Copies of this chain bind each other. A is one copy, B any other.
Amino acid sequence: MADGKKKEVKKETGLGLTFKKEENFGEWYSEVVVNGEMIEYYDISGCYILRPWSMSIWETMQAFFDVEIKKMKIKNCYFPLFVSSSVLEKEKDHIEGFAPEVAWVTKSGKSDLEVPIAIRPTSETVMYPYFSKWIRGHRDLPLKLNQWCNVVRWEFSNPTPFIRSREFLWQEGHTAFATKQEADEEVLQILELYRRIYEEFLAIPVIKGKKSEMEKFAGGLYTTSVEAFIPNTGRGIQGATSHCLGQNFAKMFEINFENEKGEKGMAWQNSWAYSTRTIGVMVMVHGDDKGLVLPPKVASVQVIVVPVPYKNADTQGIFDACAATVDTLCEAGIRAEADSRENYSPGWKYSHWEMKGVPLRIEIGPKDLANNQVRAVRRDNAAKVDISRDSLMEKVKDMLDDIQRRLFDAAKQKRDACIQVVKTWDEFKEALSQRKMILAPWCDEEEVERDVKERTRGEMGAAKSLCSPFDQPELPEGINPLISCHGHLSHYWYRMLCFWKASKEMDLLGQELLDHQVPVQSSIFM
C-alpha cells in the first residue's frame, strides 16, 4: 500500500471550518453539513442532496423504527405522490394549514393538464377516501398503515438543510380505530418510539408533551411531540409529532363502520411522522468547531484506522496491522474502516475524519507496532488512550458505548441548564432575553398565545409554545407548568418557542397576560 513515494502529500490546510459554532451558528451549520459530506446544495433553492454520509444515518433510524412498528402490526404501503385539488381541499382547517405551501403540477410534456394536480404536503387527504372504502365493519378495524416517502412543502421562509427543506423524506403513519382509547394509546406508543430515536440513537434528550391548541396539527384533535433544544443558540425545535385526529377527518371522508351490535360508528384516527429533520437536529446539538460529531449508534463508520508510518519504519507492518485491526473490529460487529490512501498525510486524515465526525480514531505508528498496541482518540472529548491489541475489541466497544452515553449526558446537562422556571411576567421576559427554555404556567387559550407572541415580538423573534410536558416537574403551590423555549427569529430559523401551561383553574394567568398585566404577587405563581 505505502511504497514511500509521496508526491503531493496533502497537509492539514484547507480542511477546517471558517465559522465558529458559538459565533456564527447559521453559517457554521451550513458549512459543517457540506464539509462533513452530509449535504450538497442543489441548484433549486430549498432542495438538498442527501449524500451517503447522511443517508446511512437515515437508514439506521429507519431500520429501527420499521421493525418496531411492524411489531405493532402496522403495515407499510405506498400511496401516490399526487392528489387532486377537490380531495385536498375537503378538510377546511387542514387545507388552510397547508395551502400556501402546496406545489402544483399543471403541465405534462407540452400539454396543459385539464385540472392542476397537487403534490402531497402530507397524505391525510390522499389516504382517507380509501380508508372510507376499506372500512365497513368493526372487523376492518384497526387499520394501521405507514409509508416511507417524500413530501413537498414549498415554503418561502429561507430554507435550511434537513431542518426546513421544500422536499423532505419522512415516514407517515395513518391509523384508524373503533375507539378513542385505542387511538390515544397508540399516539403515546409512537411518541415513545420517537423519544427512543432521539435519545437512544441520536443521543439527544427530548421532552414529550402536548402541543398548544394554536400549534397543533391543522384539522386534528390534539398533537403530541418530542421537543429538542439547541443549547448554543437557545433554540427549541419540534423533533417529531404524533397526532390524534379524533373523528374530524372521519366525518369529512365518511369513515364509518358498523359495530358488533349493528350500530353505526365513526372511526378514531391518528397520524404521526418523523423526518430527515432529525439529522439536522443531531448536527446542531453535537457538532463542534472541528466539524460533525456522530453518535456511534448512527455512524456508518464508527472507527477509522489511520496508519502513521515514519521514514525507515516498517511501513508494510503498519499497514498490515491497520488491516488486521479493521478485521478484528468488523468481526465484532463494529463498523470500522482503514484510511490507507497514499498522498494524504496522517494529519490531513485526522482532520478529514474529525470533520466527518467519526466517533473513534485509531492510529498505528512504529512505536505502537513495537508495543503491540494502538492509540485510540475520541472525537467527542479528544481523549487519547493506548490500547493493547489483545484487548482491542472489548476496549473499543466500551469506548463507543461511553461516547454514546457521554454525548447524551453532555447534551442533557447543557439543555437542563437552559431551562428556567418562571413565576411572573417579568421573569418570563427576562428568561426570554437570556434565550432560555421557559417552564411556565399556561392556560392553552389561542387568544393568549397570540397575545404573548405579539408582545414578545422583537429583534429576537416572538415567543412560541413548545409543549406541555407529560412529565410535569414538581412546583410549589400546585402550579402545573409547560416547558417552553425561547430563541430568536433569524432570517432562516424557526420562530422561537416558549410557553407555559396551567391546569384549568389556571386560566386566570391567561386572562392576566391578556390584560397586559404582570401578576407579581399572585399565590398562583409562588
Show the binding face of A for B, using Cβ within 8 Å.
Answer: 40, 42-44, 47-52, 55-56, 58-59, 75-84, 87, 99-110, 116-117, 119, 129-130, 133-134, 139, 145, 149-150, 152, 154, 166-167, 169, 341, 343
Output the nearest chain B residue to A145 by Cβ-Cβ distance: B52
B76-A139 in contact (CB<8A): no
Q: Which of chain B's residues have a CB closer than 8 A to the CB of A80?
A: 42, 44, 47-49, 167
Please give me the 3 A-B residue pairs with the lowest Cβ-Cβ distance, nearest first. A108-B154, A52-B75, A47-B80
Output the nearest chain B residue to A86 by Cβ-Cβ distance: B43
Q: Which of chain B's residues have a CB closer than 8 A to the CB of A169?
A: 78
Q: Which of chain B's residues have a CB closer than 8 A to the CB of A78?
A: 49-50, 55, 58, 169
B105-A104 in contact (CB<8A): yes
A87-B43 in contact (CB<8A): yes
Shortest A176–chain B CB gap in Å is 14
> Among the listed B43, B47, B55, B129, which residue makes an inter-chain contact with A43, where contact means beta carbons less than 8 Å apart?
B129
B109-A106 in contact (CB<8A): no
Output the nearest chain B residue to A119 by Cβ-Cβ distance: B105
Q: Which of chain B's residues have a CB closer than 8 A to the CB of A134?
A: 40
Output the nearest chain B residue to A276 by Cβ-Cβ distance: B78
State the CA gap A193–B99 with chains docked (Å): 44
State the CA gap A520–B117 with chains docked (Å): 56
A–B complex contacts, Cβ < 8 Å, 27 sampled: A42-B79, A42-B80, A44-B82, A44-B117, A48-B80, A49-B130, A51-B77, A52-B76, A55-B76, A55-B78, A56-B76, A58-B78, A59-B76, A80-B167, A81-B167, A82-B166, A82-B167, A103-B107, A103-B108, A104-B105, A104-B106, A104-B107, A104-B108, A105-B119, A107-B116, A139-B343, A150-B150
Output the nearest chain B residue to A43 by Cβ-Cβ distance: B84
State the CA gap A84–B150 with chains docked (Å): 18
B102-A105 in contact (CB<8A): no
Q: Which of chain B's residues have a CB closer than 8 A to the CB of A81?
A: 47, 150, 152, 167
Output the nearest chain B residue to A147 by Cβ-Cβ distance: B55
State the CA gap A166–B80 with chains docked (Å): 10
Shortest A294–chain B CB gap in Å is 16
State the CA gap A466–B286 with chains docked (Å): 54
Output the nearest chain B residue to A48 by Cβ-Cβ distance: B80
Q: Which of chain B's residues have a CB closer than 8 A to the CB of A50?
A: 77-79
State the CA gap A44–B40 with chains docked (Å): 34
> Among the listed B44, B79, B99, B105, which residue makes an inter-chain contact with A49, where contact means beta carbons less than 8 Å apart?
B79
Q: Which of chain B's residues have a CB closer than 8 A to the CB of A341?
A: 139
State the CA gap A81–B150 with chains docked (Å): 8
State the CA gap A99–B108 with chains docked (Å): 9
Shortest A198–chain B CB gap in Å is 21
A106-B106 in contact (CB<8A): yes
Q: Which of chain B's residues have a CB closer than 8 A to the CB of A102?
A: 108-109
B82-A47 in contact (CB<8A): yes
Q: Which of chain B's residues have a CB closer than 8 A to the CB of A76?
A: 52, 55-56, 59
B56-A75 in contact (CB<8A): yes
Q: Which of chain B's residues have a CB closer than 8 A to the CB of A110?
A: 100
State the CA gap A385–B341 with chains docked (Å): 62
CB-CB under 8 A for A130 and B40, given A49-B78, A103-B105, A116-B107: yes
Known: A81-B152, A100-B110, A109-B154. 19 other contacts (CB 8 A): A40-B133, A42-B80, A44-B80, A44-B83, A47-B81, A49-B79, A51-B77, A52-B76, A52-B77, A52-B145, A56-B75, A59-B76, A100-B109, A103-B105, A104-B105, A104-B106, A106-B107, A139-B343, A149-B150
Q: Which of chain B's residues have a CB closer than 8 A to the CB of A108?
A: 101-104, 154
Output the nearest chain B residue to A44 by Cβ-Cβ distance: B82
Q: Which of chain B's residues have a CB closer than 8 A to the CB of A43?
A: 84, 87, 129
Output the nearest chain B residue to A117 by Cβ-Cβ distance: B44
Output the nearest chain B residue to A76 by Cβ-Cβ distance: B55
State the CA gap A108–B99 with chains docked (Å): 9
